[in-house]
Amino acid sequence: MTTPSFNPPVRTLMGPGPSDVHPRILEALSRPTIGHLDPVFVEMMEQTKGLLQYAFQTENPLTMPVSAPGSAGMETCFVNLVEPGDKVIVCQNGVFGGRMKENVERCGGVPVMVEDEWGKSVDLGKVETALETNNDAKILAFVHAETSTGARSDAKELVELAHRHDCLTIVDAVTSLGGSELKVDDWGIDTIYSGTQKCLSCTPGIAPISFNERALDKVRNRQSKVQSWFLDLNLVMGYWGSGQKRAYHHTAPVNALYGLHESLCILQAEGIESAWQRHNKMHTALKAGLEAMGLSFIVDESHRLPQLNAVSIPEGVDDAMVRSRLLNEYNLEIGAGLGALAGKVWRIGLMGHSARAENILLCIGALEAVLSEMNAPINTGVALAAMQQVLSSEK
């Protein structure tokens, strides 16, 4: 018996990622595959680097996509910067700060943890105390946009603190790139990594990174070899460096990079600030609908991400049942809580191509219908009107 081709259902993706992929990007992925050293492909690589510089708001020459998911972008930063014995201050206010700690340990570094409650932003006072107490620390690592909670930390202030204490910075921008204000050069960020499957509206599998000269000095003057051959920037830059002459390092994911290039062209055409504003407006509309229904957010508005909304599950409601019904009856995916928030929140994503009015209309309508049928303690018949009022406003 012959196995049939796989044809996935058409879903609306409003979880923590991946987000809906723009149709132009799906078309770009289907274009003819060419060699990864083809001069035409090399030209596209150069364009992609320039487009990523625009997305990150940086002029760092070493701005490039790693040929692997966002987790490999994280690992690229840590394996290149952390040497055995290096003390690294790691901020944790959710799942992904914990992964930073794991990376430090695997590099032979010594993590010093600054922990905050899940759903809160990183506490600047705690970080300053940690930097003063550990004046031999080499690096400060933190998550700009914590995907597990929807909390945004003050990257600009954290970087200023780190530099005041002569520390490099490693910043996780997996969920913020393209969706929230992010200015690598203006804020002085030394190293940063992201992913393609969130606010860039692209498929998973590529990790944009950027290193400034201060960080590269550390890479060039390491006392030990980078522990990962594949992620060693000293080697990778032979392929992703400047100019037309490239040294073979690995076979790049050609078609996936077509998709990234297209996604960055879409972002450039919209304008980075317009993209930030769109995410904010869609969040405001979603918020209006959810709050009219009687639902609430776990993150304070002052540091809440527009693109990742952690919403408290009403008393007595079966989390998994709601998500299952949304998926099976409405082809709508929303996310479950992670770690300490498992079973307590839904994570509703408004990322990239998913941050559209039609998606919010579907989400609010479907959620109200399912919760009403389950006799959840919500207000009915008011959410769509509240949301529509925001969508019809000019701001």
Q: What is the reported pLDDT for 346?
A: 97
Low-confidence spans in the chain with pLDDT less than 70: 242-245, 395
Terminal C-alpha separation, the chain:
57
Same fold, 23-269 and 272-391: no
Is there a contact between 167 and 131 (Cβ–Cβ < 8 Å)?
yes
H-helix or E-strand containing 367?
Answer: helix 357-373
Q: What is the reported pLDDT for 289?
A: 97
pLDDT digits (tens, 9 = 90+) for 349-366: 999 999 999 999 999 999
Q: What is the reported pLDDT for 247?
A: 81
H-helix or E-strand containing 292?
Answer: helix 272-293
Q: Where are the domains of the chain?
A: 23-269, 272-391
pLDDT digits (tens, 9 = 90+) for 31-55: 999 999 899 999 999 999 999 999 9
Is there a contact between 139 and 170 (Cβ–Cβ < 8 Å)?
yes
Task: Name the CATH topology of 23-269.
Answer: Aspartate Aminotransferase; domain 2 (3.40.640)
Per CATH, the architecture of 272-391 is what?
A: Alpha-Beta Complex (3.90)
CA–CA separation, 376 and 390 (whole Å):
25
**Amino acid at residue number 297:** F
Q: What is the reported pLDDT for 274?
A: 98
CA distances to 43, 147, 198, 314 from 310, rounded to whole Å, are 41, 9, 16, 13
Q: What is the reported pLDDT for 132?
A: 97
Q: How many residues does the chain have?
A: 395
Q: What is the reported pLDDT for 237?
A: 82
